[in-house]
């Protein structure tokens, strides 16, 4: 059996548990909240000229505040939630698409991500095809062909991180999935072995797909700070000793963390807010300078603060290689040396919001509230049936292209 057909059969046979459905609802609220938070972002005017789905998904990712599947290193919900909403689907379609995305991402493996692929896009396009297929009522065979038809768009590069290209890649992946499902519904077909060959071509660590376990294996990580997930742990560690430090007393900052845990953090001397979201050095600076590293911490002006620049220049980083291969390998150790020779030190293994340390209800409420003064009310009664109407009202497009078009 081809992988495309195996994934399609799994998706159509999925019977979500109450735990799965609860995770789907949290994903819906989290994704809509961070999307609404970006309503005034400059990129939104640009993406309003795209299709409805590409507009929503790109907007949802531009602040880099959306959830993450740790094992596959993919931003699942920002691809799958908008796809389901654009195609008129429900929680079941979300869980099917999210489950396929997690499994494809796991098959691609860390080596795929470490070579510079944007796994959210490579795994996201075929997974979005599954979410759209179930939303549109396609059968198993049609769904398998939709997966194969999405493969030509399954790509993206990490070099785009810290630029508008990153969220745009996400929008294009989601859009490709819906397009593939619409084509399959109209009768388009492909060789189903395309998916097997594609996995080998992009260096998947194993070709067989594990369809056992929960809908989304090991759950999703929720970000509490609006920046790359690789920065969540360093920020958390530095915040734990912030009260012990005075900025003027700091002589040096040393960080030790496994190399893989900072793989996406490619900007060492950031000059823009977007670059700051992918900078280990700036993560430590904002954790020291700001009471809470929120949206205001990742503007161009904030990153360009003289105090921030001075702190960035004090950071030295040690990146040992380990046998682990994920963003939470080992732990992060921080040592801040004062001018008098004394040190403040912190070690952290799990940041708040990670799958094994999920956000508390109050942390989730605080995150939603930070996304806009009206966002708690707008999301209070959010359902899969009314969320699309909310996005259409809050994020209108100049060109609308929906499943019914």
93 close to 185: Cβ distance less than 8 angstroms? no
What phi and psi values does residue 229 have, to the nearest 5 degrees?
Answer: -60, -30
How would you classify the pairing of strands 332-338 and 250-256?
Answer: antiparallel
Residue 336's alpha-carbon distances to 159, 179, 292, in angstroms, are 31, 51, 19
Task: Tokens for 297, please give them.
Answer: 């911490």
- The token pair at 77 is 């919900």
Q: CA separation (Å) from 318 to 9, 149, 258, 344?
A: 46, 44, 8, 17
CA distance 228 to 277: 6
Give the residue carrying structure tokens 């493969």.
151
Contact 190, 198 (CB under 8 A): no
Strand partners, 250: 338
What pLDDT is attached to residue 399?
56
Give the integer Cα–Cα distance in Å for 94 and 102. Answer: 12
Q: Are 263 and 159 in contact (CB under 8 A)?
A: no
Residues in Cβ contact with 216 at an 8 Å cutoff, skipping those fewer than 6 apart: 20, 23, 69, 76, 95, 98, 99, 102
68: tokens are: 């993450």
How many CA atoms lie within 13 Å of 83's alpha carbon, on the beta-carbon side?
39
Give the span between the Cα atoms of 105 and 2, in whole angstroms.
17
| CB distance 398 to 49 below 8 Å | yes
Predicted confidence at residue 404, as pLDDT, reads 46
For 2-35, b where at least 16 C-beta lie within 10 A, e where not — what string?
Answer: bbbbbbbbbbbebebeeebbebbebbbbbbbbbb
* Strand partners of residue 336: 253, 344
Tell me what the mean pLDDT of segment 370-384 comes to: 97
How confident is the model at residue 211, as a pLDDT?
A: 79
Confidence of residue 386 (pLDDT cuts 50, 70, 90): very high
What pLDDT does 402 receive? 47
Identify the DSSP state of 244: G
pLDDT of residue 323: 65
- Residues of the chain with pLDDT > 70: what percent? 97
In three-state secondary structure terms, 173 is: helix
CA atoms of 126 and 182, how far apart (whole Å): 13
pLDDT over 90, % of the chain: 84
pLDDT of 114 reads: 83
Strand runs labelled E in 106-209: none
pLDDT at 255 over 80: yes
pLDDT surpasses 80 at 208: no
Are the beta carbons of 275 and 281 closer than 8 angstroms? Answer: no
The answer, yes or no, to whether residue 405 has pLDDT greater than 50, is: no
């Amino acid at each position: 059996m081809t992988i495309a057909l195996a994934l399609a059969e799994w998706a159509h046979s999925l019977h979500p548990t109450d735990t799965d459905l609860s995770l789907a609802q949290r994903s819906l609220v989290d994704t809509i909240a961070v999307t609404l938070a970006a309503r005034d972002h400059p990129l939104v005017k640009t993406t309003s000229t795209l299709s409805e789905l590409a507009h929503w998904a790109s907007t949802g990712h531009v602040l880099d505040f959306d959830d993450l599947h740790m094992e596959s290193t993919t931003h699942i919900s920002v691809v799958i939630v908008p796809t389901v909403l654009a195609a008129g689907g429900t929680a079941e379609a979300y869980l099917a698409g999210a489950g396929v995305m997690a499994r494809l991402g796991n098959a691609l493996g860390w080596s795929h991500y470490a070579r510079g692929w944007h796994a959210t896009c490579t795994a996201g396009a075929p997974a979005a095809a599954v979410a759209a297929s179930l939303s549109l009522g396609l059968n198993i065979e049609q769904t398998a062909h939709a997966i194969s038809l999405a493969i030509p768009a399954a790509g993206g590069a990490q070099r785009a991180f810290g630029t508008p290209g990153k969220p745009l890649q996400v929008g294009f992946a989601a859009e490709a999935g819906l397009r593939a499902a619409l084509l399959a519904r109209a009768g388009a077909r492909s060789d189903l072995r395309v998916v097997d060959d594609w996995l080998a071509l992009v260096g998947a660590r194993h070709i067989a797909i594990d369809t056992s376990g929960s809908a989304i294996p090991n759950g999703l990580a929720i970000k509490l700070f609006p920046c790359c997930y690789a920065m969540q742990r360093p920020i958390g560690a530095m915040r734990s000793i912030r009260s012990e430090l005075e900025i003027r007393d700091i002589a040096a900052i040393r960080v030790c963390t496994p190399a893989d845990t900072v793989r996406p953090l490619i900007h060492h001397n950031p000059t823009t807010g977007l670059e700051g979201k992918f900078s280990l050095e700036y993560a430590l600076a904002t954790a020291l300078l700001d009471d809470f590293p929120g949206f205001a911490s990742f503007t161009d002006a904030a990153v360009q603060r003289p105090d921030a620049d001075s702190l960035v220049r004090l950071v030295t980083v040690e990146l040992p290689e380990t046998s682990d291969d994920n963003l939470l390998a080992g732990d992060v150790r921080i040592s801040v040396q004062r001018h008098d020779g004394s040190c403040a030190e912190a070690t952290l293994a799990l940041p708040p919001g990670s799958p094994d340390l999920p956000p508390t209800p109050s942390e989730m409420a605080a995150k939603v509230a930070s996304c806009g003064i009206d966002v708690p009310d707008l999301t209070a009664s959010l359902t899969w049936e009314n969320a699309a109407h909310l996005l259409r009202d809050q994020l209108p497009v100049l060109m609308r292209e929906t499943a019914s078009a």
